[in-house]
Chains A and B, each alone.
Chain A
Amino acid sequence: MRNPWGRPRGLALVTALYVLWSIIPVAIAVQFSFNDGRSRSSWQGFSTQWYVGDPAAASSVLYDPSLRSALTQSIVLAVLTMLVATPLGVALAIGLARWRGRGARPSNFLMLFPLVTPEIVMGVALFLVFDNLYDFVPFGTWAQFLGHVTFSISFVVVIVRGRLFAIGRDYEEAAMDLGASPWEAMRRVLLPLLAPALLASFAIVFALSIDDFVISQFLVGPASSVTIPVRLYSGARLAPPPSLNALATVLMVITIGAISVAGLAYKYLGRRFGGAEDSALESVGRFEI
């Protein structure tokens, strides 16, 4: 009889083919961002002209106004979103984890709802409300910022709450038995224990925001508010030069950086309490585009 715990070659083959299929198209797109020529399908040698090339010779991420503005807009939006959504989400997570009053259940429900709402629904909703009710908010950066924070808050809550449950209340109570006031216990015991979740939240919100397409597109205003994903969407079918591939590659490198920070935060800072990794993994699984 065959060893039932042996490695099944058929499964390995299927998995290998899947991985190749999922990675090769993107690898080719990255390769052609370094093409020494305008083609995106025939290789003419290595060059970085589509990244930093002189504006007179070719459009490049560094010098083409529309590509450069998309890069700046994406980064500005992601940093703003990260700085506002993370504190809001952390406070909400702490509040919801400990509040036992009448409003706790509906608030919890309100926090979960954005996670399960299709992005197009949220996009339409925000578009209509900025168009009709909050018309003092201009479309573009401000509307996009408000929208990004709105969909990010719930992710922060899910990440932070996982760690809050893993930590429990014992450490705070111990601190207070030793004479700390409730606020001191929170500031000097709870917040440091939450540090990995905080760092992971910053990084994940940054990645969520910079990768977002639907909300950014529904709330786009003047040309200067076009983000990288919106620029990729509008340019992809117009036979663009490889500088569009270069822009996409830059975005990919930035996202990998942010996710690595989140992963390392958990690995090195979060070792002492199990359980939190699961919630981080699950929240990553909820990445929408």
Chain B
Amino acid sequence: MPTNLASGAEYDTVGHRRWVWPAFAIPGVLWLSLLFLVPFYAIFAVAMGRIDPILLRPVPEWNPFYWDPSVFARVLGDLFGGQVGVVAMRTIGYVFVASALCLLIGYPVAYFVSRKAGKWRWVWLLLILAPFWINYLMRMMSWVNLLSPDGQVNQVLATLGVTALPEWLSGQHFVVILGLVYGYIPFFILPLFAALDRIDDATLEAARDLGASNLETFWRVTWPLSRNGVLGGLVIIMLPMFGDYYTPNLLSGSPRTRMIGNTIDQFINQTTSQGSVGAALTIILMIFVAGLMVYYLYNINRSTQEARR
């Protein structure tokens, strides 16, 4: 055994030289710097850059001292009182209604499977996990099938004698919200399930022994103990919902149901010269969700710190 092991500050407890651990981290850190940090900065560089007058395409400005806020200011102006504002308000409305529905449907489901499902618990768990194995686009496509003019929904309604059949897949707010709920609710249920699963039965028994009724036990013990799971679940689904563009595009495709993600998708993917507007809209989207991101970041960081102990 080498004699200099664990002697002096040059080695750590497992006998590696001090520089070994940063060396392990360097490839990953370098990758994330070049392909996450730099691209992230590129959003700002493009949004605050200028437009090439001849090629009519955005030229990024990498030096913040030369940033030109005119495009960003124009988009910001459009947010307060313009078309972007309407789309942003609609996005917020959709996300809040869809999240509320996820909570309303998802809580009883998570509660039942985690605490009341008895010996068939693992089957129920498998069933509520099933949507995780299925691609989001496939799940949306399934609804496009069902709701198409000659689809199963209309067939059923026709046999029931309903004659005035609406056009489901064009500009219906509730269809888009249904799609959002259908798409994201599994991601809400799972963290809530984990939180409810951690509650010790003894706590609930104690509440009963002290004379609480079923409802009181739920309201004063279970619900407060599951609140972090609810918050975590809501943040996990609200983040991608705010940036969603595929759900409204597949289930409606009409300007009436446009979300902020659709506008970004349009300016980045479908036109070549509007990159700076798309970038500015992306910054606005990030300002919208900054609070959610910080909360989520704080949560993951805390859970890893706890695991370390």
Contact = CB atoms under 8 A, between A and B. Distances in A.
Interface string A246-289: 00100110011001000000000000000100110110111111
B290 to A, nearest CB: 10
Contacts, number: 320
A252 B135 contact: yes
Nearest to A257: B133
**What size tier do the contact residues of chain A reach?**
35 or more
Interface string B115-131: 01110000010011011
A76 interface: no
Interface string A161-183: 11001100100110011010110
Contact of B307 (A94, A165, A245): A165
Main secondary structure of the interface of A (DSSP, over half): helix
Contacts of B58: 132
Given A91-B25, A289-B136, A11 B116 contact: yes
B39 A259 contact: no
A195 interface: no
Interface string B1-41: 11001000000111110101111111111011101111110
Interface of A: 2, 4, 7-8, 11-12, 14-15, 18-19, 21-23, 25-26, 28-29, 32, 39-42, 88-89, 91-92, 94-101, 103-104, 107-108, 110-129, 131-133, 146-147, 149-150, 153, 157-158, 161-162, 165-166, 169, 172-173, 176-177, 179, 181-182, 185, 211, 213-214, 217-218, 228-229, 232-233, 236-237, 239, 244-245, 248, 251-252, 255-256, 259, 275, 278-279, 281-282, 284-289
Interface of B: 1-2, 5, 12-16, 18, 20-29, 31-33, 35-40, 42-43, 45-46, 58, 60, 105, 108-109, 111-113, 116-118, 124, 127-128, 130-146, 148, 150-152, 155, 169, 182-183, 185-187, 190-191, 194, 208, 214, 217, 236, 239-240, 242-246, 249-250, 253, 261, 264-265, 268-269, 275, 278-279, 282, 285-286, 289, 293, 296-297, 300-301, 303-304, 307-308
